[in-house]
Amino acid sequence: MSVLYRSTRGSKGLKTASEAIISGIAPDGGLYVPNSLPKLRINLNSMVGMDYKEVAYNVMREFFTDFSEEELRYCINSAYDKKFDHEEIAPLKKAAGVYFLELFHGPTIAFKDMALSILPYLLTTSLKKQNMNREVVILTATSGDTGKAALEGFSDVDGIKIIVFFPEKGVSEIQKLQMRTHRGSNTFVVGIEGNFDDAQNGVKAIFNDEEVKEKLLSKNSMFSSANSINIGRLVPQVAYYFYAYMSLVRNEEIKLGEPINVVVPTGNFGNILAAYYAKNMGLPINKLICASNENKVLYDFIKTGIYDRRREFVLTSSPSMDILISSNLERLLYILADGNSEVVKNFMSKLQVEGYYEIGDSMKDGLKDLFAAYASEEETFQAIREVFEGDRYLIDTHTAVGYSAYKDYQSLTQDIDTKVIIASTASPYKFNTSVMGALDEKYKEVDEFSLIDTMSQISKVPVPAAVKDINKRPVLHNRVCRKEDMKAVVEEILGLNK
């Protein structure tokens, strides 16, 4: 069956997968969603013995129905290769009574690699399918991880330029250096004086700026996105939940068909939405546990049905989740509203103008698959200590938020029998000051780069290539701008005013 894509906000016309991937965001500012969520064609039993690439193919083909088998396998095989430092791509690690799904074995040691390794191939294949010979400008905002993963994926790809905006004071030093030292003749990195929401709002505004789009068109260029607002980012994430489940079956930790719980630390709601899609495709997931840090806007929404960004923005030790506007929640709203795009459009307008919205009782009923919890900074550090002291397994701050949320779920529900997978979204090496500081106060005063070797010694995990000697690499990107000047910076980089 052919799956087509429509905007959450109702602009007319359906798009093929390749058209939606190229566009990134719909013309009306909405996000592309499948006209109906597909079901898995093959039975789960036949997936148990599959490797990661085979699982990914069988999941993604249900969404990308205008790709031939040859095209899709080319994208998958090109993405999930030796750039990942573990043969399983996304292995499971059993520790502290749970299963950590290690999504950080790619080139930037964060889960964004799982989708951003394949997006360049999906995009270039889509352009060929649509007979388009325009230059594509990837414009993206990052809370720390997407930016480097996108730079890594799109570096030196013919016909593509990439511009990444990040909050200058809202990422770790290692995240910042990963971006600022990045090599690539087609890559541009800009820090902004503001937070991630400012960067994301600025990018969306540029996407929807008709004047900029006209200038791009005159140069035979167009925008696309590497954020999870692009359906080409979201769909590949669905695959690793299937693979994780099959790993549990293969390792005889569960029986096929046995339900599991899945915990996802999330800020922009994309990673947990991928798990929600997996559940609706037929994966036996019981509860989706949405884990927030102190920017607990998603926690409050799931508990009350009220989404309210009118609150203090908190800088935490889990910066990739320091978000008050969760873009991908719009895709869930579309499902909860039974595909009524007018309802979604009104919510998004109210959020922009008034800073909040409240869903009705029938939509609230649709949140029953989700359980929300959040972790304070102290609870986050306590989780790191607990897991390490129990099993000598070191987790990063974002994963720790997930573990803490699971402990809350377990305490409140007394559900101690259902096996649980926690999405481990980043290597502890990315946030070593916070992680090591959680283990011992003395490390808080130690230089972040000196801690890399100390972390390796205590964790018995070799230093990943992504951060080895990172402080010795030359800084190639120095731009910093006010959030109000993002459009001007884009125009300058692309030479649109010449």
> Residue 172 — very low, low, confident or very high, per pLDDT cuts 50/70/90?
confident
| pLDDT of amino acid 447 | 85
In this predicted structure, what is the pLDDT of residue 48?
Answer: 97
Mean pLDDT of 320-326: 92
Q: Confidence band (pLDDT; 50, 70, 90) for 144?
A: confident
Task: Tell me the range of 219-233, 311-325, 328-342 where mean pLDDT is highest.
Answer: 328-342
Q: Are 117 and 153 in contact (CB under 8 A)?
A: yes
- pLDDT over 70 for what percent of the chain? 100
Average pLDDT over residues 87-104: 98
For the annotated catalytic residues, the residue numbers are 112
Q: How confident is the model at residue 150 (pLDDT cuts 50, 70, 90)?
A: very high
Handedness of CA 323, 325, 327, 331 (dihedral sign): positive
Structural domains of the chain ordered from first start: 1-121+230-466 (3.40.50.1100)
What average pLDDT does range 179-201 have in this prediction? Answer: 94
Mean pLDDT over 117-133 rounds to 93
Contact in structure between 31 and 3 (CB atoms under 8 Å):
no
Would you state the pLDDT for residue 413? Answer: 97
Instruction: Identify whether the C-beta of residue 186 lies closer than 8 Å to the C-beta of residue 162.
Output: yes
Identify the residue with better confidence: 25 or 385. Answer: 385
- Read off the tokens for 375: 């972790």
What is the arithmetic mean of pLDDT over 16-30? Answer: 93
Q: Is 90 exceeded by the pLDDT of residue 227?
A: no
- Banded pLDDT at 143 (limits 50, 70, 90): confident
256-305: per-residue pLDDT in tens? 999 999 999 999 999 999 999 999 999 999 999 999 999 999 999 999 99
Give the model confidence (pLDDT) of 367-420 as tens digits.
999 999 999 999 999 999 999 999 999 999 999 999 999 999 999 999 999 999
The per-residue pLDDT for 228 is: 81
Integer Cα distance of 490 and 471 in angstroms: 28
Cα angle 188, 103, 43 (rounded to 5 degrees) comes to: 120
> What is d(CA 67, CA 163) in angstroms, rounded to the nearest whole number?
27
Assess whether pLDDT exceeds 80 at residue 2.
yes
pLDDT band at 229 (very low <50, low <70, confident <90, very high): confident
pLDDT of res. 37:
94
Q: What is the pLDDT of residue 372?
A: 98
Q: For residue 416, what are the contacts with CB-CB under 8 A and spacing of at least 6?
A: 410
Confidence of residue 364 (pLDDT cuts 50, 70, 90): very high
Q: What SS3 class is residue 95?
A: strand
Whole-angstrom distance between the N-terminal and C-terminal Cα of the chain?
A: 47
- Beta bridge partners, 371, equal 289
Say yes or no to pLDDT of 1 above 80: no
**For 463-482, what is each residue's pLDDT tens digit?**
999 999 999 999 999 999 99
Summary mean pLDDT of the chain: 95
Under the banding of pLDDT at 50, 70 and 90, the label for residue 218 is very high
